[in-house]
Amino acid sequence: MSTPGEPVRIVPLADAAGRAAYAALVAASPQATPFHSLTHADAACSAFGLTGEIMLTREPEHGGPAAVGGVVFWRRRGPFRLAVVPPLTPYSGPLAAAPLADALTDPAPLYETGGGGPLGAWIAAVARRADAAEFNLPPTFADARPFVWAGWRASPRYTYAGPADWGGHVPRYVRHRVRDYSATRSDGTERPGGLRVRRDDGAAALVGRSAEAPFLRSGTRPPVPAAAAEALVRAHAAAGTVRIAVVERADGTPVGAVATAVDDRSGYVWTGSAEPGPGMLLLIADTAERLVVEGTGRLDLLGANLQAVSAFKRRLGFPLVASVRVAWTRSRVLRLREALRS
């Protein structure tokens, strides 16, 4: 817990005043995503046994949001205290109340790491409390140099993201494939063997099973149990920050489901899958159409760790967008362990 006069206020995730101040920051921040929300923080801590803390620079006297703040997720590994990125959390780390580019014109720069800069103070506060730490900064956190200047490591990550309206950038042959795979033709008649998509924001259990299915088919252990994925999706559904699409055969048998996390700016194709075939393409196409109707302008496919998945997403025509993972390790034992794994 922080003491009076410290530049960063640190409170448990359950602290009511801290939650209110952090919610105000999320509402103001151009970098915020649904994965920075209190809804996500509460669900991730519950699902994965983590401890959350809210860390905020001191709010200004006029009562506006803190300049910088974030939820830090802690877990223990033996004697070590680690600030981690929870599973199913594509983006994490600090938020700023203003666009980061604007900070360069501020009399007390947000980027300043040695003196009074709020971002530098936040980074230093994490480092004082952690034996190791990591965050997946969103693409809108365009400048990771404050972390590098503070001795953190930065490595690139990539996603495919762009306008949710497919008309201007998705290749024509992809749009034709969506049409050809659909169960209903443009004239309203049924196409034998086609698939249909239904929208069901209550289908969290099906999303959880769909997220687990590809790993079970390949005989590998899923990185996240179906129940944990379901719990996070269900929490977002209750908060209204998820859209679920289910793809099924003509007889109603589901062959996949995808949950897309949303805010007032973007949709993030988050978790779930479909059986091999056209199902995943139909799910993404229907989700994009739904977001456009709702007024959401941008769709983020959230990258890929597998080459085959990356190739599939690349064919959809969305631009490749870079983001950054930052990490810091105090312990020599942990640094040695990382070196042996690399």
Residues 290 and 279: their CA atoms lie apart, in Å, by 17
Phi and psi (nearest 5°) for 76? -100, 140
- Band (193; pLDDT cuts 50, 70, 90): low
| pLDDT tens track for 139-192 | 998 788 889 988 999 999 999 999 999 877 888 888 888 888 876 666 556 666
Which SS3 state, helix, strand or coil, does residue 100 take?
helix
- Band (11; pLDDT cuts 50, 70, 90): very high
Residues 31 and 28: their CA atoms lie apart, in Å, by 9
Q: Determine the pLDDT at residue 105.
A: 43
- Band (104; pLDDT cuts 50, 70, 90): very low
Burial zone of 186 (CB within 10 Å; 0-12 exposed, 13-18 middle, 19+ buried): exposed
C-beta separation of 155 from 324 below 8 A: yes
Which position has the higher pLDDT, 214 or 45?
45
Q: How far is CA 132 from CA 23, 146, 197, 327, in A?
A: 26, 17, 43, 7
Buried/exposed 306-330: b ≥16 CB within 10 Å, e otherwise? eeeebebbeebbbeebebbbbbbbb
Above 50 in pLDDT, residue 132? yes
- Band (1; pLDDT cuts 50, 70, 90): very low
The residue length of the chain stands at 342
Q: Determine the pLDDT at residue 74.
A: 98
C-beta separation of 331 from 131 below 8 A: yes
Q: Which residues pair with 324 in a beta bridge?
A: 137, 156
Of 212, 277, 290, 276, nearest in space to 245 by CA? 290
- Band (327; pLDDT cuts 50, 70, 90): very high
Buried/exposed 122-136: b ≥16 CB within 10 Å, e otherwise? bbbbbbebbbbbbbb
- Band (333; pLDDT cuts 50, 70, 90): low
Above 90 in pLDDT, residue 270? yes
Q: Determine the pLDDT at residue 55.
A: 97
Q: Determine the pLDDT at residue 107.
A: 39
As a whole number, the mean pLDDT across the chain is 87
For tokens 């302008």, the residue is: 297
Taking phi over 0 as left and psi of -120 to 50 as alpha, with beta for the rest, 328 belongs to beta
Helix or strand holding residue 128 (H, E): helix 118-129
What the block records as the tokens of 13 is 């995730």
Phi and psi (nearest 5°) for 160? -105, 120
Which SS3 state, helix, strand or coil, does residue 160 take?
strand
Above 50 in pLDDT, residue 108? no
Above 70 in pLDDT, residue 198? yes
- Band (341; pLDDT cuts 50, 70, 90): low
pTM as predicted: 0.89
